[in-house]
Structure 1
Amino acid sequence: MEPIIQVQNLSKQFGNIAAVNNLSFEVPTGAIYGFLGQNGAGKSTTIRMLLSLITPTDGNIRIFGMPLQQHRKEIFKNVGAIIERPDLYGYLSAYDNLKIFAKLNGMQPTHQQLMNQLDQVGLADRAKNKVKTFSQGMKQRLGIGIALIHNPSLIILDEPTNGLDPQGIADIRRLIIQLSKEQQKTVLLSSHLLNEIEQMATHILIIDKGKKIIADSAKALFNPAETMVEMATTDNITALAILKNSKWQSAIQLNRGPNIFLKMHYNQIPAFNSDLFHLNIQLVMLQPRHSLEDYFLQVTANSPSDTLILNH
């Protein structure tokens, strides 16, 4: 099946600053595609180029197999999006907000269609309440309801949980998973909440300083055979030298500040721990790092103390 989004060699230059630098990736149809990066990494700039809000300096974007530049109007008939917080009419009800935005999209929905849409985002019981009385999480859900009013196949959400309390975040998470699993929507989701992405995403793209660091399925990224293990000893320099002359030499990955990182299958950790004793390495800490947060920090490491340990 053809990817729903195809980005090739995308770049955006603002003066001397390369906000996005030769970025390429594909979003599979039906995926919840987590788009991650530190503040200023280029996530929002990329999303704005996908939505034609800003023009790329270079590169190509295809959505639904069509070049964005030539088929913008046709493409966006089947795309729903929220960039940061939705703009809503606070003095109007949720129902009236939805009705107005539907008309702006050239639609004339029935009362039942509007209520069904509000029910989908968990706001049917607040249909007649003014939006100004809503929590930020409720406003965000209403914004997603508005983005879905024309039943798009692709939904693009830029930081949809920004500023929400834990309950609001959980509500948005459940809604996104429901849209993917029950309605077969494709969701491109930018967020800085790594734990939320880890719970939702089927695929993950990480960028840093406008460049792609990694893009793969969540299943592949968190393969037990690729578990990162962080260790600290009483003498890391000596421990590292010993390990480089042991059967664990090929597992050595990264020396981050004072600690040592190795990559191995999760099931190998007990044997590794036992070998450390026999190698007379005095262990202070041994910790598997297999969460998205750990992975993200590893691949976006930019501290001057970060050094790659070569396997020879």
Structure 2
Amino acid sequence: MNNQPVLEIRGVNKTIRGKKIIQDLSFEVYPGEVFGFLGPNGAGKTTLIRMIVGLMKMNKGDIVIHGQSIQKSFEGAIKHVGAIVENPEMYKFLSGQNNLVHYARMFPGGIPQSRIDEVVELVGLKNRIKEKVKTYSLGMRQRLGVAQALLHRPSLLILDEPTNGLDPAGIRELRDYLRRLAREEGIAIVVSSHLLSEMELMCDRVAIIQQGKLVDVQDLRGEGAAPKETSYFFEVNDPATAQAVVQEIDPHLHVTPHPNGIELTIGRERAADIGALLIQAGLRLYAMKPLTQSLEDKFLQITGSDQIA
């Protein structure tokens, strides 16, 4: 990962009508990663996105994009940003191509046709780009919106609820595209979504925000050294015998019995050894797997809430 952040949130605070919406929020987003926001209703996610793109002002702190403060040099900072804060609005009676041409003319100096062709290829709309937008599926419209946001070669792409209204196929299509975009183009992507399962599949890191405060950042990449010990579940035909075998091997090892197996907190190599010993003892070992929390489990544990937005 590039060591220089594309986006820096520095001690940001926002109060609306006496209510603290964002409180001392700080984190960084780097090139080539997909970074997600999660939080209960009213946590402040959309408020933060609106402040990043300049639609709202902060009361305290700073937001820095490519080393430039949006307060001191807004134009210099925002030129690096592409964003879809609401659903992408397109002229449905025009083709996808003409929508992009129309949008490209708004930029000072314009955007060449070669760049339009490049982003169309990038989002996978080459075969449909000359058809009218009214014939597009929601997933295709979302991709056209992303193409529009990418025309000026931003290094930071911000998407607020990009999967809204999409069917499962469209959600997967957009997810795979965003991950490829981050990897191949090195763009930093910031996503807000209420779909925890999709965030888990899409994002490299996820910031969990509660009552305007950053309560945790979950790294979902699985990079680096594995933990020395983790919980493993051994699914066997005779849990009681399996427990006895393990306690004979090591009386100090804590065994948690289950109806169809046993659970142990041990290292990876030790887990493999115990699996082999259970088989040698004549037991049928159907499965041996590490027990890891889902993002949803972590979210509910951290926030104590089931209200996600």
Matched, 1:294 2:297: yes
What is the distance in 2 between the residues matched to 1:84 and 1:173? 18
Larger Rg: 2
The corresponding residue for 2:220 is 218
What is the distance in 2 between the residues matched to 1:228 and 1:71? 50
Percent identity for Structure 1 against Structure 2:
39
- In the TM superposition, 1:1-312 aligns within 5 A as 1-219=3-221, 288-302=291-305
Runs of 5+ in structure 2 lacking a partner? 233-251, 255-263, 275-289
CA offsets 1:5-49 (integer angstroms, 9 cap, x no match): 111221111113222122111112322112211232111100111
What is the distance in 2 between the residues matched to 1:137 and 1:193? 16
CA apart distance, 1:247: 8.5
What is the distance in 2 between the residues matched to 1:36 and 1:296? 8
CA apart distance, 1:87: 1.4
- The one-letter code of the counterpart of 1:51 is V
Q: Is the 8 A contact 2:34 2:205 kept in 1?
A: yes
What is the distance in 2 between the residues matched to 1:17 and 1:264? 45
Q: Is the 8 A contact 1:115 1:127 kept in 2?
A: no
What is the distance in 1 between the residues matched to 2:50 and 2:305? 26
- The one-letter code of the counterpart of 2:294 is S
CA apart distance, 1:71: 1.2
Distance 1:58 1:227, change over 3 A: farther
**Greater Cα shift, 123-132 or 288-297:** 288-297
Q: Is the 8 A contact 1:289 1:295 kept in 2?
A: no
What is the distance in 1 between the residues matched to 2:154 and 2:227? 36
Alpha-carbon RMSD:
2.9
Aligned length: 260
What is the distance in 2 between the residues matched to 1:64 and 1:58? 20
CA offsets 1:163-194 (integer angstroms, 9 cap, x no match): 11011111111111111111111111111112
The corresponding residue for 1:277 is none
CA apart distance, 1:75: 1.4
- The one-letter code of the counterpart of 1:291 is S
- The one-letter code of the counterpart of 2:203 is A
What is the distance in 2 between the residues matched to 1:192 and 1:162? 9
Could you say what secondary structure the match of 1:38 adopts? coil
CA offsets 1:254-273 (integer angstroms, 9 cap, x no match): xxxxxxxxx966869999xx
